[in-house]
Amino acid sequence: MDNTFTPIEARKPPSSAIGPIAWMKESLFSSPVNTLLTVFFAYIIIRFIPPVLDWAFISANWVGTTQDECTKSGACWIFIKQWSGQLLYGSYPEELRWRVNLALIGLVAVVVMQFFLPQHLRRRVGWVSLLVYPLISIWLMYGGLGLETVSTDKWGGFSLNILLAFAGILMSLPIGIIWALGRQSQMPFVKVVCISSIELFRGVPLITILFMGSVMLPLFFPAGVQLDKLMRAFIAITLFQSAYMAEVIRGGLQAIPKGQVEAANSLGLGYWKTMRLIVLPQALKISIPNIVNTFIALFKDTTLVLIIGLFEILSTIQAALQNSNWLGGHHIEGYVFVAFVFWVFCYTMSRISVHIEQKLNTGHSRS
Amino acid sequence: MSTTTTSDNNSSTTEARTKNADSIIQIEGLNKWYGTFHVLKDIDLDVAKGERIVVCGPSGSGKSTLIRCINRLEEFQEGSLSVDGVALNEDIKNIEAVRREVGMVFQHFNLFPHLTILENLTLAPLWVRKIPKKEAEATAMEYLERVKIPDQALKYPGQLSGGQQQRVAIARSLCMNPKIMLFDEPTSALDPEMISEVLDVMVELAEEGMTMLCVTHEMGFAKKVADRVIFMDAGQIVEQNNPHEFFDNPQNERTQAFLSQIIGH
Ligand SMILES: Nc1ncnc2c1ncn2[C@@H]1O[C@H](COP(=O)(O)OP(=O)(O)O)[C@@H](O)[C@H]1O
Ligand SMILES: [Mg+2]
């Protein structure tokens, strides 16, 4: 008998298992039910996609400035074009819109910095930018200190949605973390207060909190003090978002093995250092998909502030539809456009989230 | 006690004092319950400076709980425990003081997966001892040399084998320059071919005079380095002796049964 080991060379799979025909057979027509579904969806696509494309692009009206120039049968995108300034900036004075632009560019820069700076810079620069950016953007938006003041009732349009959402997420992260830690506290009083407040804000629709914010918050302030409408919306959104964030982070905290805390403690690290250096970095990392999910939800929810009279993008569209020069019924264009804008932003966010996850995963796991 | 004569009493006090002088861990009448479950019963244990103790016993006998009491990962309800002259009580200052001096190595390593090996080692020196970064890193590299994996410093724990991870965990504790090292079954989670690389590091450490308390069933290790072997069962210390006597001439029937079991297979 021969005792040496002779490796068998690896071979290619048989050709019937690869190639486009094999793929179609495998995934589109693998069974009668699958074949039926394939035919059904092919019919839907052929039946509905061409008319939609025709309406949105081929027969759409792109050039011109007035309603009367919308002569073709498709969408009247001139409507959107003419209102695009309001849709993005609300009633923010036209000659000052560069300030909003700067604030938005700054926001993109800050977000990009968090993820794409080299690691050693990311921590410091990242944190500083997160602290400094809000101050700068408030100054840019509101004015003062040498800039002309623009009161918050002039703010509006999609920039208001973006800034509200970003402010909400920025505030809700630290509050959510504290809330989540409090929920796990050994001290019964802290624990009960945290649990009941989280459940309160989580168990009520945002729209209710917004209403309560505009009706009830003023009661907590002295008679003369008029709390800004935008401020009230911001507080309501922050509380609502923080409660969700707390639950998301709690999920992350629970996934961290107890051994991590024990190892940190046995090295002499106290509670706060253990949380900050060991538990939270890991818990936040695994929570990123869920954090982004709540952020996407919040971003869409910012349209709700229209009910307390803030002119974000949706209410701007509604105002435009009421305008006497544009009474031709452009509802579909308006709402399709808003839907599209939100979809682009939310989809981008979820892609970014996937990207971050992959990036974080490669560094730490055994490959 | 009350029946002993005055002179006896005196001599036992002086003896206790001299014993205390070079003992670094003193446990007296320690009792612990998990809820109503009495997990540690009347534990008395004195560990001398530089002494190497191996603790063994059947699973669930309270070995982990006992050594985890020493750095207060577990609290106890009765008795007293002091480490290097610091009494462990509710005082968080004392607890943290003790933890700085006591290193612990766990069965499942418990390395911090989001930090590199080097960061794992420098974390506590930087944040607890407030040592400058350069110095902490130099010390960390020194210990990585000693556990023979300096080339892994910039990797993450997940990229290392179990044996390497456990050696990193030992180095991580040593970076705090502890006076006592506690080991809780450090080789139980390892593949057989990796056990000896970890034991070698522990033997070296023992030869350098580190005070060690080690829960392990590696009897070869116990025979080689232990000054004393303690056998626990049902929350009690059943028997303790030097390894020679302990293995060749066990007194208690429980010990005999346990030894015949682990040698039997
Ligand atoms: N957190 C806990 N709550 C309740 N019972 C526990 C807990 N930890 C351990 N025990 C029990 O205490 C006993 C001793 O556990 P342990 O010290 O881990 O034993 P050993 O390390 O000797 O195997 C076991 O019966 C175990 O089930
Ligand atoms: Mg154990």
Residues with Cβ within 8 Å of residue B226, at least 6 apart in sequence: B52, B53, B54, B214, B242, B243
Q: Which residues line ligand 1 (CB under 6 A)?
A: B 34, 37, 39, 57, 59-65
Q: Evaluate if residue A54 carries a pLDDT over 50.
A: yes
A60 part of a folded domain: no
A59 or B264, higher pLDDT: A59
On chain B, the residues whose CB falls within 8 A of the CB of A365 are: 156, 158
Whether A263 and B159 lie within 8 Å, measured CB to CB: no
Name which of A72-86, A241-255, B18-32, B133-147 the model is least confident about.
B18-32
pTM: 0.84
Contact at 8 Å (CB) between B233 and B58? yes
Residue A362 pLDDT level (bands cut at 50, 70, 90): low
Q: Evaluate if residue B7 carries a pLDDT over 50.
A: no
Residues with Cβ within 8 Å of residue B120, at least 6 apart in sequence: B111, B112, B157, B168, B172
Q: Evaluate if residue B6 carries a pLDDT over 80.
A: no
Q: Evaluate if residue B237 carries a pLDDT over 80.
A: yes
B2 or A134, higher pLDDT: A134
Segment B126-150 shows an average pLDDT of 94
Q: Is A363 on the interface with B (CB under 8 A)?
A: yes
A295 part of a folded domain: yes
Burial class of residue B141 in the structure, from the number of CB atoms within 10 Å of its CB (0-12 exposed, 13-18 middle, 19+ buried): middle
Segment A92-106 shows an average pLDDT of 93
Q: For A10-49, how does the pLDDT look when each residue is reduced to its tens digit (9 = 90+)?
A: 888 777 777 788 888 888 888 889 899 999 999 999 999 9
Q: For A160-189, how does the pLDDT look when each residue is reduced to its tens digit (9 = 90+)?
A: 999 999 999 899 999 999 999 999 998 999
Q: Evaluate if residue A193 carries a pLDDT over 50.
A: yes
> Closest ligand to B58 CA?
1
Distance A1 CA to ligand 1 centre (A): 54
Q: For A307-343, how does the pLDDT look when each residue is reduced to its tens digit (9 = 90+)?
A: 888 888 999 998 898 888 888 788 899 999 999 999 9
H/E run at residue B182: strand B180-184
Whether B158 and A260 lie within 8 Å, measured CB to CB: no
Segment A218-230 shows an average pLDDT of 78
Distances in whole angstroms, Cα of residue A114 to Cα of each of A126, A129, A133, A352, B113:
5, 9, 13, 12, 21
Count of structural domains, chain A: 1
A323 part of a folded domain: yes
Q: Evaluate if residue A275 carries a pLDDT over 60.
A: yes
Q: What is the ipTM of this complex?
A: 0.88
Q: Is A277 on the interface with B (CB under 8 A)?
A: yes
On chain B, the residues whose CB falls within 8 A of the CB of A273 are: 127-128
Whether A365 and B102 lie within 8 Å, measured CB to CB: no
A260 part of a folded domain: yes
Whether B112 and A262 lie within 8 Å, measured CB to CB: no
Nearest-atom index, ligand 1, CA of B74:
1
Distance B183 CA to ligand 2 centre (A): 10
Buried b / exposed e across A169-182, counting CB within 10 Å, b at 16+? Answer: bbbbbebbbebbbb
On chain B, the residues whose CB falls within 8 A of the CB of A282 are: 112-114
Nearest-atom index, ligand 1, CA of B66:
17
Please give the residue range of the domain that contains residue A88.
Answer: 77-92+150-366
Segment B64-93 shows an average pLDDT of 89
Contact at 8 Å (CB) between B263 and B257? no
Q: Chain-wide mean pLDDT for chain B?
A: 88
A43 part of a folded domain: no
Nearest to B221, CA basis, from B73, B94, B54:
B54
H/E run at residue A61: none
A133 part of a folded domain: no
Whether B106 and A259 lie within 8 Å, measured CB to CB: yes
Segment B228-247 shows an average pLDDT of 92
Can you read off the two tokens belonging to residue B83?
Answer: 């480490």
Distance from CA of A257 to the nearest CA of B (A): 9
Q: For B46-71, how does the pLDDT look when each residue is reduced to its tens digit (9 = 90+)?
A: 999 999 999 999 999 999 999 999 99
Q: What is the CATH number of the domain that holds A303?
A: 1.10.3720.10
Distance B224 CA to ligand 2 centre (A): 22
Spatial separation of the C-alpha atoms in residues B166 and B152, rounded to whole Å: 13
H/E run at residue B53: strand B52-56
Name which of A85-94, B2-11, B60-69, B187-196 the model is least confident about.
B2-11
Name which of A222-226, B51-55, B177-181, B182-186 the model is least confident about.
A222-226
- Rounded (5°) CA angle B166-B168-B174: 110
A56 part of a folded domain: no
Q: Evaluate if residue A79 carries a pLDDT over 80.
A: yes
Q: Is A266 on the interface with B (CB under 8 A)?
A: yes
The phi, psi pair for A227, rounded to 5°, reads: -80, 130
A247 or B262, higher pLDDT: A247
Q: Evaluate if residue B116 carries a pLDDT over 90.
A: yes
Distance A105 CA to ligand 2 centre (A): 56
Query: Of the spans A356-360, B35-39, B258-262, which averages the highest pLDDT?
Result: B35-39
Amino acid at B90: E
Q: Evaluate if residue A363 carries a pLDDT over 60.
A: no
A289 part of a folded domain: yes
- Tally the C-alpha atoms within 13 A of residue A234's C-alpha that lie toward its C-beta: 14
Distance from CA of A268 to the nearest CA of B (A): 5
Q: Is B172 on the interface with A (CB under 8 A)?
A: yes
User: How many contacts does A have with B, using Cβ atoms within 8 A?
Assistant: 67
On chain A, the residues whose CB falls within 8 A of the CB of B156 are: 363-365
Distance B37 CA to ligand 1 centre (A): 10
pLDDT of residue A175: 95
